[in-house]
Structure 1
């Protein structure tokens, strides 16, 4: 219940941001309802003239023209009201998507790495879209249900106070039954939303692991699990719709009964001569319109349920604790950048892995290879250097200045980063490479691609540099995508280069050529790389051997071999990971 109350309060806060749009939609609708009353009066007057007074046709033309003009005016007002309502919904969706993306960006890559990507996608894409119908249709209809019937009552009471009183007494029955049915509907909608987020997570897992599933012959089983989850989601969706249809049925029943009561009262009073046909017909024309806003609100109740279900998740996400923003302004000088770690400790959630009291100096202009068993802390150290995470103890210095005091924008401008699994985006090959430098010329692109041994691959593509790549670099092999990421680093041309096994997905001949290019590129730069290939460690200026988050050994290849420690064992096994 607290979660629902928090979601309702959050939705109320969002409503204030589009208050002007909603108010305009409400006023336009109220004016349209007033014109409807005038139109109904003209229609009732015309019928009275034809049926009882046998008026000639020429007397009806003004009324017919007025009815036509009013119908056209109401259509225009209806269009304008919908535009205002839709603008409210679109504004909230756009702003909320921006807020969620900004929040996720502030939480950072370290937070994202421990969250389910499918769930995040479902929240930011499908979840945010539920706010459109809520603010663009449901809320305007709630306001209309409160105001438009009052406008009709103002018109009905002077014509027939008995019918007006009947409408006034029967109207509250509809909201009462909406509340009674609302609890059941909200529970069903929350179950549906939870199932949708799980389904999104499962789908993303299957997509990302499709190669593994096919290799082990488990693709069919995964398909069946997805089909089962999809069927469960279908059942939950149908359950929500059943509740919505039941609610609509109840509302229609009571609205129909109320209109029938009004019609019976008007009929009996006409029969006994206590009612004038003109006033009775006027009331009967307006009675269905009196209940229409209430009935429409009930039909849109599922929009509220979906929005409340999403709002609960949105409130939790927006309340996540963010890392304290960096406020450093220092920009350490020097020809080369030296990185020093003093007693650096970092623990992942649950206390697993990380670094423990690590002391290490990475001299400026030198190449350092990080080696060690899986889980030794290599990736954690790279994450700290990239300022994606912060140490829980100790300090990381850039040319003697603590990283906490350094301008992070400046620091990241000094870095080039080649991850183990590079991220490629929808766009052309040139677009993906220009992420490193948007203003790069074509000759600079070709030079960077040539260093990464990628130029022949690009030239063989159907459209060359303009060949479109799909999400995750669809159309390039793993090795080709790795080379494109290396070309980005060459194009960026920064004093610090950080790599996480840059040649892992390359064949031996290509890897050798890329390593030569890296050696040439790295002269005079600070290069830090987590390596698995023996030659990469051997050719480095220094090697840091990590074990259980601690520095087990440090030195050159031949010195570490002579010491006979962990590095020598890994070398003898022929693997450094």
Structure 2
């Protein structure tokens, strides 16, 4: 994504803020009301001090004004608190909306499009990145509005009272935003580096934790500790550089504010000493009370200006993801017709990845209804890409996939198509939750009887019931707490409980021992009995049981037939079988 200027990022963030425009305006209005009460407080306080000091008023005479002052303090505090609360709720709604958009866009992109992204990078963007926008919407944007309104309101009262003081404030006020913008150019680059360092650190931490066993076995744990320490130190230095810029911004503000207030005070004091004084004590005191308040919104802007820089840095990555174009998916307007008999036909299918790598080079294949078809071939032959095309995750560059010989897959609504499928990958993913919740992913409304039946068919019931809490036993991320064979059988139970007419399986036995392989193979045979099934076969044990075998090489189907027929032909399949037997001799 091209580097977008900060001003354009501001505009885009503000467009996102329009979704809660009414709430934000209400919060700004409350903040403005609190600011206007400051003027009224200064007016009353100046009157009280002037009347007591120069007009002989006693405590009883000024007591009503003091009560009014106390009420103003309470109301002003209430307005300030309510303004922050309203702005926080508005920003919370924006954050929720952006997280939903990010998740929805990632799901629409599909697993193929996001395969090159680091999961920790995406997770950090969805959590820390979106969270970094909260100060922007809840504090910076309201403060920007108050900066243009409250100082202007104060000048409206100061100029009629003393035009010299008003002129000093009018000249000094714009200098603060001017120097903040100058400093901001430096801060933007620093915050960009800080955000990139944070994403790198998050991704590296995740990689290290997930690969802890490998690092320990190969004796690289200490090296990784040094790498993490270096990345952390880089992040620390970048963070400190950003804080230095933030402190510089505050220092610039305080300098101009202090000088301006001092000039107002000296000017008023000098004129009060004249005989007769050209200004009254009440006027001088009133203006002097308002002078610091004139700079308060600017001070708040300086404090939250760093939050703007951090938000823009995070927003670049957020919008980078949201601007990633969705893969072409055809028209997708037709719902899948209800039918239990499904055949698939592939005609001259071509597909290349963005980097120019050809994955499918004119695939022609038939997947008969109710039959098991095994896809075999060397690594890189195109088996997984063909499966992704059948799943609807990639749109072919040319060619078509027909359902029952007449319905193009390209016109089917993807959600209705996925409801007809069960996908069991080679390394299935279990999510943090109970075993029952993981099986119910296949059918959320499944009752316990259905879960037990599915687990029984998947040879998983025995080990599930032996667990401390049975189906309510929690499992960690990636199935932590279960063995590889148990994870595979829970995944098969998930497919059993869904019970769709089409199964696509990336052979789930490639990394299992002989005992688990036998159980999983038996469960897979039950699962696909009488259904249309496509199995990516890494071991020939599953291919031998298939009704037909399609052999892929260089993105094409080069052979088709049964196990015995292909062996007799002495072609690619025969060579693969010979190599497999040699490896397992």
Q: Aligning the two structures, in what range does the TM-score lie when normalised by the shorter sequence?
A: over 0.9
Equivalent pair of 1:531/1:576 in contact (CA under 8 Å) = no
Following superposition, the deviation at residue 356 of structure 1 comes to 1.4
TM-score, normalised to structure 2, is 0.94
Equivalent pair of 1:433/1:484 in contact (CA under 8 Å) = yes
2:510 is aligned to: 504
5 Å matches for 1:306-455? Answer: 306-325=310-329, 326-329=331-334, 331=336, 335-400=340-405, 401-455=407-461
The whole-number CA distance in structure 1 between the counterparts of 2:380 and 2:523 is: 29
1:575 to 1:483, Cα distance in 2 relative to 1, 3 A: farther
1:73 to 1:489, Cα distance in 2 relative to 1, 3 A: same
1:473 is aligned to: 479
2:199 paired residue among 194, 197, 203? 197
Equivalent pair of 1:26/1:144 in contact (CA under 8 Å) = yes
**Structure 1 residue matching 2:4: 3-state secondary structure:** helix
The whole-number CA distance in structure 2 between the counterparts of 1:460 and 1:164 is: 82
User: When the two structures are aligned, how many residues end up with a matched partner?
Assistant: 577
TM-score, normalised to structure 1, is 0.95
**Structure 2 residue matching 1:361: 3-state secondary structure:** strand
Q: Structure 2 stretches of 5 or more lacking a match?
A: none
Equivalent pair of 1:336/1:524 in contact (CA under 8 Å) = no
Following superposition, the deviation at residue 449 of structure 1 comes to 1.2
Equivalent pair of 1:331/1:406 in contact (CA under 8 Å) = yes
Following superposition, the deviation at residue 259 of structure 1 comes to 0.7
Following superposition, the deviation at residue 293 of structure 1 comes to 0.6
1:274 is aligned to: 278
2:4 is aligned to: 3
**Structure 1 residue matching 2:28: 3-state secondary structure:** helix
5 Å matches for 1:200-219? Answer: 200-219=202-221
Please say which of residues 324-333 and 449-458 is displaced more in the overlay: 324-333
The whole-number CA distance in structure 2 between the counterparts of 1:569 and 1:206 is: 40
Equivalent pair of 1:134/1:303 in contact (CA under 8 Å) = yes
The whole-number CA distance in structure 2 between the counterparts of 1:576 and 1:68 is: 92
Following superposition, the deviation at residue 39 of structure 1 comes to 1.4
1:36 paired residue among 9, 14, 38? 38
Equivalent pair of 2:492/2:524 in contact (CA under 8 Å) = no
2:120 is aligned to: 118
1:482 is aligned to: 488
1:293 paired residue among 294, 297, 300? 297
Following superposition, the deviation at residue 438 of structure 1 comes to 0.9
Please say which of residues 212-221 and 526-535 is displaced more in the overlay: 212-221
- The superposition leaves residues 133-153 of structure 1 with CA deviations (integer Å, 9 ceiling, x where unpaired) of 111101111111111111222
The whole-number CA distance in structure 1 between the counterparts of 2:109 and 2:388 is: 14
The whole-number CA distance in structure 1 between the counterparts of 2:154 and 2:412 is: 67
Following superposition, the deviation at residue 299 of structure 1 comes to 1.4
1:545 is aligned to: 551
2:235 paired residue among 228, 233, 250? 233
- Write out the 4+ residue segments of structure 1 that deviate beyond 6 Å after TM superposition: none
5 Å matches for 1:32-71? Answer: 32-71=34-73
Equivalent pair of 2:488/2:520 in contact (CA under 8 Å) = no
Following superposition, the deviation at residue 131 of structure 1 comes to 1.6
1:222 is aligned to: 224
Q: Structure 1 stretches of 5 or more lacking a match?
A: none
Following superposition, the deviation at residue 244 of structure 1 comes to 0.5
2:163 is aligned to: 161
**Structure 1 residue matching 2:396: 3-state secondary structure:** coil
The whole-number CA distance in structure 2 between the counterparts of 1:32 and 1:521 is: 68
Equivalent pair of 1:371/1:543 in contact (CA under 8 Å) = yes
5 Å matches for 1:248-259? Answer: 248-259=250-261
**Structure 2 residue matching 1:336: 3-state secondary structure:** coil
The whole-number CA distance in structure 2 between the counterparts of 1:247 and 1:476 is: 54
Following superposition, the deviation at residue 238 of structure 1 comes to 0.9
1:304 paired residue among 285, 308, 333? 308
The whole-number CA distance in structure 2 between the counterparts of 1:93 and 1:402 is: 39
The whole-number CA distance in structure 2 between the counterparts of 1:350 and 1:179 is: 41
- The superposition leaves residues 179-205 of structure 1 with CA deviations (integer Å, 9 ceiling, x where unpaired) of 221111111111212222322332333
1:20 is aligned to: 22
The whole-number CA distance in structure 2 between the counterparts of 1:6 and 1:320 is: 18
